[in-house]
A and B are shown apart, each in its own frame.
Chain A
Amino acid sequence: RSRILVSIGESFGTSEKFQKINQMVCSSDCQLKRSAEVSAPPKPLKRL
């Protein structure tokens, strides 16, 4: 099953490993499945 393990706490500027996590968590299928039950998913971060 897909689960992701990353090491954190390193110095500033780690790679974009979180993009993969965010895509996995918000991927359409689980979102579709869950949106029926709970409120709307978080809005993506704003860009100033």
Chain B
Amino acid sequence: AQECQNLEVRREKQKRIERIKQKRAQLQDLLLQQIAFKNLVQRNEQNEQQNQGPPALNSTIQLPFLIVNTSKRTVIDCSISSDKFEYLFNFDNTFEIHDDSEVLKRMGMSFGLEAGKCSVEDLRTAKSLVPKALEGYITDMSAGFSWVNQGLLSSSA
């Protein structure tokens, strides 16, 4: 009976460890988005101060947005309802869809933390953009530490 009980507890423990890993990865992603967003806003403000004003309105895209990218040779057949509430796109080639947080990461707005490549200077800036209690997670990310496939307790966070 005791052995059986221990097996139960061990299984519950393993499940909990898996959940904790996923939640830590989710928390890391939330922090990346927060850093990327704040960094973007700061960059825009600095640019506007340098250029004495915002860029032309038709050259800026407000968040949130999506992008669909495809080869230039792709032919896109597009149907639009008169009220612009419905669109139908037919591509003759593959395409990719990305949301704004992915675009910001590709723009380097999260200092390359998601790839574990971050300079000391950028790490300091990134830490200043998140609550103090969460700086440990940023340190882990900068060291290339991703929760999804790591052991549980080996991190500063």
Which residues of A come within 8 Å of B, CB atoms? Answer: 8-14, 16, 18, 21-22, 25-26, 30-31, 34, 38-42, 44-48
Contacts and interface: CB of A to CB of B under 8 A. Distances in A.
Contact of A46 (B37, B64, B106): B106
B64 A42 contact: no
Interface stretch (B10-18, B93-101, B137-145): B93-101
Contacts, number: 75
B96 A12 contact: no
Interface string B96-126: 1111111100111000000100000000000
Interface of B: 30, 33, 37, 63-64, 66, 69-71, 73-74, 92-103, 106-108, 115
B140 to A, nearest CB: 20
A38 B95 CA distance: 13
B102 A18 contact: yes
Nearest to B66: A8
B96 A14 contact: no
Contacts of B37: 12-13
28 contacts: A8-B64, A8-B66, A8-B99, A10-B64, A12-B33, A12-B37, A13-B30, A13-B99, A13-B101, A14-B101, A18-B66, A18-B98, A22-B96, A22-B98, A25-B94, A30-B94, A31-B94, A38-B92, A39-B93, A40-B71, A41-B71, A41-B93, A42-B93, A42-B94, A42-B96, A45-B69, A47-B108, A48-B107
A42 B102 CA distance: 17
Contacts of A46: 106
The SS class assigned to the A binding surface is loop
Contact of B99 (A14, A38, A41): A14
A7 to B, nearest CB: 12
Nearest to A39: B73
